[in-house]
Amino acid sequence: MNIVMVGTGYVGLISGLGFAEFGFNVTCIDKDNDRLRKLSQNIMPIYEPGLTELFKKHYVNTKRIKLTSDYSSSLSKADVVFITVGTPSRRIDDEADLTDVYSVADEIASNIKKYCLIVTKSTVPVGTSRKIKEIISKKVDKNLFEVASNPEFLREGSAIDDFLRPDRVVIGVETKRGEKILKLLYRPLYVSETPIVSTNIETAEIIKYSSNSFLATKITFINEVANLCEKVGANVQDVSRAMGLDRRIGSKFLHAGPGFGGSCFPKDIKAFSKTAKKYDVPLSLVDAVNLSNKERPELLAKKIASYYSSNIKGLNFSLLGLSFKPNTDDIRDSTSIIIGNILIKLGANIFAYDPKAMANTQKLYPAYNFADDPYSACKNVDGVIICTEWNEFRALNIAKLTSIVKRAIMFDLRNLYNQTEMESLGWEHVSVGR
């Protein structure tokens, strides 16, 4: 089977490599020639644990991965085409921008030559795969193709493992033929008894948005509870732990912090809400989550400023962690950077350190100062802010930090440190929800 991934970004590259690992030949298309050129020189466009090695294995050794910007030669031979381009938020109305998805549908329509299954892996609003079908059927006989939906659930930071060992695979299909092809592609997962949820296309599209919205809701719920805990002398970590031990609730995504960011949750909950409104079915809970999470960085920045009589003009802060989560260099909608930007706007100077995300930040945010390690970032600062929970920040040498900071105050937005211990070492320890 010839598999083609259109869009060689996070999802296209990782899932393409995943299918290569399953034994298939995969052609990865991208319109970004620079990205393809760098990849062909073994320079990865993103940081993801294990990516360089897996890419080398299948590009250089097994040769199961091919890279191209030429639609015609690859699509004409394709048995299955995955659409894996981005679906960002449209600035004007928060809807999912489907420009790239529809332009890929056009390319597919112009280039397929034999029966082909067109699978949407990008996260798209319900109804999009039908629209793709409409676009393609304008140029291609309906017996020569069919569409399907196969939303992707990988998480940045553990993307390869998530693809190779998923909790479940969702396939939305119109026919038994489409179902058979997709099940064949995921056959290697049968050994691990991975559940394959086979459903219609609309359901598959909704499953992806519902899952992300639910996880975002859990995070926002515990963040709001954390706000209350701070006012009444309760400890949100104990609340989370006790709640999480209830198997109906579960402990994941129940850690209070600076709010969710990243390339998926913020845009997906907005798009989900917009889609529902179109059908006159408001998702009021999702709207509340969106609003609460949007306000959170401002709330935390104000909390930080309140420790300086709400005047941080000219003060220096170290910002530890810039990526939206650990083990990635992705800074899209990173809460850390949103908070950093608010502090800069209030007149503060930011000295940032991140194990992997500094290059990406430097390109977009020239006002940040960058340090080579966490300690250099903390030299002479009026406050230390921990925003992303990289392992490197979990066991900082506090004695060393004490000797270099100007004021020993830590804003521990991920609750990595023990308050009593920090206080015994002479620090003011400001955490979340306790």
CB-neighbour burial class of residue 61 (10 A; exposed 0-12, middle 13-18, buried 19+) = exposed
Query: For 288-427, where are the E strands, in sequence order?
Result: 316-320, 349-353, 369-370, 383-386, 409-412
Is 357 in contact with 328 (CB distance < 8 Å)? yes
* Shortest Cβ 49–ligand NAD spacing (Å): 14
Structure tokens at 219: 């995070």
Query: Is 264 noted as a catalytic residue in this protein?
Result: yes
* Shortest Cβ 153–ligand NAD spacing (Å): 6
Is 423 in contact with 429 (CB distance < 8 Å)? yes
CB-neighbour burial class of residue 128 (10 A; exposed 0-12, middle 13-18, buried 19+) = buried
The Cα angle at residue 333 between residues 329 and 334, in degrees rounded to 5: 55
* Shortest Cβ 9–ligand NAD spacing (Å): 2
Site of tokens 């991208």: 30
* Shortest Cβ 330–ligand NAD spacing (Å): 7
Structure tokens at 424: 């015994």
Select which of 28, 116, 229, 264 is catalytic: 264
What is the three-class DSSP state of 3?
A: strand
| CA separation for the pair 316, 60 (Å, rounded) | 47
CB-neighbour burial class of residue 81 (10 A; exposed 0-12, middle 13-18, buried 19+) = buried
Using CB under 6 A as the criterion, which residues of the chain lie in contact with ligand NAD when the complex forms? Answer: 6-12, 29-32, 35, 84-87, 100, 103-104, 122-123, 152, 154, 156, 263-264
Of residues 208 and 255, the one with the C-beta less far from ligand NAD: 208
Position with the least CB separation from ligand NAD: 9
Which DSSP string corresponds to 313-333? TT-EEEEE--SSSTT----TT
User: How many of the other CB atoms lie within 10 Å of CB of 370?
Assistant: 17
| CA separation for the pair 168, 155 (Å, rounded) | 13
Of residues 91 and 176, the one with the C-beta less far from ligand NAD: 91
Of residues 9 and 383, the one with the C-beta less far from ligand NAD: 9
Structure tokens at 103: 């332009």
User: How many of the other CB atoms lie within 10 Å of CB of 392?
Assistant: 16
Of residues 12 and 297, the one with the C-beta less far from ligand NAD: 12
Of residues 38 and 187, the one with the C-beta less far from ligand NAD: 38
* Shortest Cβ 101–ligand NAD spacing (Å): 8
Of residues 153 and 308, the one with the C-beta less far from ligand NAD: 153
- For 235: left if phi > 0, alpha if psi spans -120 to 50, otherwise beta; the answer is beta
* Shortest Cβ 263–ligand NAD spacing (Å): 5
Of residues 15 and 318, the one with the C-beta less far from ligand NAD: 15
* Shortest Cβ 185–ligand NAD spacing (Å): 17
3-state secondary structure 102-167: HHHHHHHHHHCCCCEEEEECCCCCCCHHHHHHHHHHCCCCHHHEEEEECCCCCCCCCHHHHHHCCC
* Shortest Cβ 163–ligand NAD spacing (Å): 10
Of residues 13 and 300, the one with the C-beta less far from ligand NAD: 13
Residues designated catalytic: 264
